[in-house]
A and B are shown apart, each in its own frame.
Chain A
């Protein structure tokens, strides 16, 4: 019994240490976002009592960051909508019918996801410039499919595979068409899986930086690229940078609340289930 209490104590100590290590940087970001320029430079005090809201007001209402935020929302949501609609159709085909080459689906998903995005910047820059897609939201929405679409198909495939085929057949006998089965049988049953996939897709699109940084300049800039613009030669407004970081963090935190149980399955391509 003594040993067990000791082990529990050890567990709590370790947990608290890890929690502090994980949370302190985030806490510090909040603290800096609440400080005036003078406070930021007058030594790193760890506690903050006042709140300087102008850091949150100015970038979004007097500067371009409000527009960046709207762009990010449109791009992430548009990409999710596109990816999910295409992925549901494709996954239905992959899961229910013999499609040549579908055994390579996993390898294709993995390599698309694992390739360094930097590899694609030269061709995309040239192609997008030629097609007039550079610095447009629609261009970025299409582009993000390169990593989100295979990922969504792979994740959905496991979920649709688990829906018994007998249900399809029963619906066919009742006179349903191919799309009728998809709409009336598959979609209602796969709804939770589709929601999870949509949330993860949304987070990946929201968090993306490199493509957006290279392929947008004014009109379609996203919040992540805006964040990187803060560090300038003439000096950085640290308070505002922290405030924009906090805003950028919020959707991720909200979605984590909803999809927490699925994030590990998502990040390991369903290899490890929580």
Chain B
């Protein structure tokens, strides 16, 4: 039994099997990278000047200054937190009917198309761009931020809720329907019990996202902690900026653990 086994082994390609296609793709990627890197213009002198500032920022992050701007920080935090809660509540309230309307198995086709297009519009517009427009219309401050986050929440919750309703166990709906239930009774006894835990989970998740977003839309004038952060960075007060970022990270961490705990408790 002379073994004709090869002594070396090469791992077979994992994703693209065709050799020519693979090499072609690799060349294309390489060409793109060369072109893309060529388009970056870096002013190294500016970078080296800035590194000192970067160092100060890192120092600010390590030795955050919570006290000297505490009034502004707490004001921004209160705005952000209240904005987050109100926009999530209102957004979820609006998105429930839209989500039901966007579920193919519950509503006639015209309603489905209208609701899906509302969802598509809300999802495709960036929060920051929406915020710019709403600030222009409603003036500076947390009210514009509230409207922005509500608008963004609608697209998010309505889409996931609609997808969830479309995936429910049809036999339960069938059973309720067989008792002669009306459409609203069907909703109440067949759909709602199946999607409610997930809706609560999604709302908590969105609460978390809305807080994170509230830190961003302040940069364009929609109030909240983002406005405070923007001011701190503009004034090169990196120790205050570091403090704000640490607070944001801490709140997000607490919200994340809290919401995952709450979801486990509710399910």
A and B part of one assembly: no
- Give the B-binding residues of A (Cβ under 8 A): none
Residues of B in contact with A (beta carbons under 8 Å apart): none
